[in-house]
Amino acid sequence: MELATFWNRHRRALAHFYGVPRTIVHDRTKTVVRRHVAPGEVVPVRPEAVAFAGHYNFASSVIMCRPGGPSARSSGWTRPS
């Protein structure tokens, strides 16, 4: 997905839900993360992601999860059936 499309969809979601949450958690998608790193290392986030979070005044975090893995289960994510 292109960066412009990704952030436009975020804008539309914020408008749809009539507000901005305190925190948005992203998985390690390439539109948010510059490159993948080993667990425990600092995740390099794209400047566009930092700017978007700053503009809308929300905290942004990145989780390193695999679908169905331990971090996904602890985050409440479930695999669609």
Per-residue pLDDT of the chain (81 residues; tens, 9 = 90+): 788 999 999 999 999 999 999 999 988 888 899 988 887 888 899 999 999 999 999 999 888 766 555 555 555 555 555
pLDDT at 80: 56
H helices present in 1-81, as ranges: 3-16, 47-56, 70-74
- What pTM does this model have? 0.72
The CA-based dihedral angle spanning residues 71, 30, 3, 14, taken in that order and rounded to the nearest 10 degrees:
10
